[in-house]
Amino acid sequence: MDYRLLAEQLLDQHASLHRSTISQNLSALDRGGFFLLNYLVLHQGSAHPRELSRGMSVSTARIAALLNHLEKQGLVVRSPDSADSRQIVVTLTEAGCERVRRKRQEITDLLAQTLAELGPEDARTLLRIRQKMICNLQRHVEQGAQPRPATGKEAPASVS
């Protein structure tokens, strides 16, 4: 099997998916203001700016700019940390929580419809394989593995 050719096909599919409306909606949750709001939802509604910077893999300057924008919209508030007054805590407002809830619901509805069109077996298989790819990619990154040309002679990993 030519794994390099398959990898190129996967990249082409990814590019096609990236141009789709659903992908653009999903990417809103992966970057910028929605990502920050979603991060807060997933972390009990509050976090320190330094945590946001690490969790989002962006600079503290970028976080400050995002927080200024989101605070002006009434989606987050910054306040002194009760445990350490030298620190600031960012807290999601009710409006911020509602904004994320609506966006997630919109995306979830569209994804659920798309998965239903695949059928139960294909939908479960898709998710299982995507999860396995994520685990494999994370393992390669953690091990600092350098990419090597795929020869097609590697034993395929079992997909379970």
**Higher-confidence position of 89 and 143:** 89
**Higher-confidence position of 143 and 146:** 143
Residue 66 Cα to chain centre, angstroms = 17
User: pLDDT at residue 7 above 50?
Assistant: yes
User: pLDDT at residue 49 above 50?
Assistant: yes
pLDDT digits (tens, 9 = 90+) for 88-133: 999 999 999 999 999 889 888 988 998 999 999 999 999 999 999 9
User: pLDDT at residue 87 above 80?
Assistant: yes
- DSSP-assigned letter for residue 85: T
91 exposure class (CB count in 10 Å sphere: 0-12, 13-18, 19+): middle
User: pLDDT at residue 160 above 50?
Assistant: no
Single pTM value for the model = 0.66
- Angle at which helix 32-42 crosses helix 94-118, to 10 degrees, equals 90
* SS3 state of residue 22: helix
Q: What is the DSSP string of 105-150?
A: HHHHHHHHHHHHHH-HHHHHHHHHHHHHHHHHHHHHHHTTPPP---
pLDDT digits (tens, 9 = 90+) for 64-73: 999 999 999 9
